[in-house]
Copies of this chain bind each other. A is one copy, B any other.
Amino acid sequence: MQLSKQTLNQPLNQPIEQVYDVLVIGGGAAGLSAGIYLQRYLLSTLIVDKGKARSHWMQELHNYLGLPPNTPGQDVLKQGKAHYLALEGDYLNGYVQTVIDEGETFAVHVQIGRKSPTEAVFRSRYLIAASGIIDHLPKLDDMQNVFDYAGHNLHVCLICDGYEMRDKRAGVFGSSESSLEVAFSLGWFTPNITLFTNGEFDVGQELRDRLTQKGYRLVEQPIKKFLGENHQMTGVQLSDGSVVELDTGLVSMGSKYHADYLKGIDLEYKGGNLVTDPMNRTSHPRIFAVGDLKLGMNQVVIAAADGALAATQIWRDIRRAEGTRRSPLITAA
């Protein structure tokens, strides 16, 4: 059964009766992979997706086993969603506002639609937090100028795209002194590095000395705009009109964690990331975290594996608790 638009647009005074086995928040790589595994374990699943997963922005996924190295991130998501829907998983475009732990179930409050939004409440026994992160980008007056290059040759992930930056003139765009440290790892791939503060923070003498020692340049003037065409950034124009030519860039400004809906539940975090066990269970026995939200590397293939692990553990939990497949699913032998 697909969750139809009609089901969702019913008035809130007609509560939705079904309790899903698992509600997955986020339809990116981790959430879709979890959904595929869950449906194949014959568990009922609802994925609620707000759209625009981090991998949605990736123009080319260079390191995902089994796919050509120029596969757009969107293609993986599209194939994964079709795969999940073919397994009859429910899927809803919506924004999860709050999760309330009711003991046996979670009540998940979802805002649906943008212009005249409605709210619906869904219930599930388990929750998988797969809503990920999104990278902060340089704040310029014209943000479209940033979006034109982000995900093309203005990268956000050194592990993903360091190889593409090798031996190139690279800019590093930071948001704090510590965020500039990534330049030293980028130095593995290219010796030609210019760091930009966009005039937003100070850099101490110790870091200045280390940059000088490596031959890296530091630019502290505000950035006026990125230069380039056809999504290929060719440099930066500063506030005084001068130009720094670049072949590529790396944004290192931290991330927004999409997990506000978990605020009411006491969970263990490290930094912004949820701490999990090897099967991706959080400190709450019925909440799992997968993909970029959890502690670990932010890679599409790891997110996909995370989904498989969490789904399998939930299946084991339910199977062990119930002993056998539940009656609505049993057909005559």
Query: Interface residues, chain A, CB within 8 Å of chain B?
Result: 29, 32-33, 36-37, 40-42, 62-69, 71, 75-76, 79-80, 83, 86, 159, 162-163, 166-167, 185, 187-189, 191-192, 214-215, 278, 296-297, 299, 301-302, 304-309, 312, 315, 319, 324-325, 330-331, 333
Contacts and interface: CB of A to CB of B under 8 A. Distances in A.
A33 B163 contact: no
A215 to B, nearest CB: 7
A307 B301 CA distance: 10
Given A297-B309, A333-B191, A63 B79 contact: no
Contact of A66 (B79, B163, B325, B333): B79
Nearest to A164: B40
A296 B75 CA distance: 29
Nearest to A67: B66
A324 B37 CA distance: 42
A66 B166 CA distance: 28
Contacts of A299: 305, 308
A316 to B, nearest CB: 9
Contacts of A166: 42
A108 B67 CA distance: 31
Contact of A33 (B76, B80, B297, B301): B301
Contacts of A191: 325, 330, 333
A276 to B, nearest CB: 10
Given A42-B188, A299-B308, A75 B79 contact: no
A56 B324 CA distance: 32
A163 B80 contact: no
Contacts of A83: 65, 68-69
B64 A324 contact: no
A312 to B, nearest CB: 6
A169 to B, nearest CB: 8
A66 B63 contact: no
Contact of A76 (B41, B65, B309): B65
A278 to B, nearest CB: 7
A308 B297 contact: yes
A36 B62 CA distance: 9
Nearest to A33: B65
Nearest to A313: B297
A10 to B, nearest CB: 31
The 8 A-B residue pairs with the shortest CB-CB distance, nearest first, are A305-B305, A40-B163, A66-B76, A65-B304, A33-B65, A192-B333, A302-B305, A191-B333
Contacts of A167: 331
Contacts of A308: 63, 297, 299, 301-302
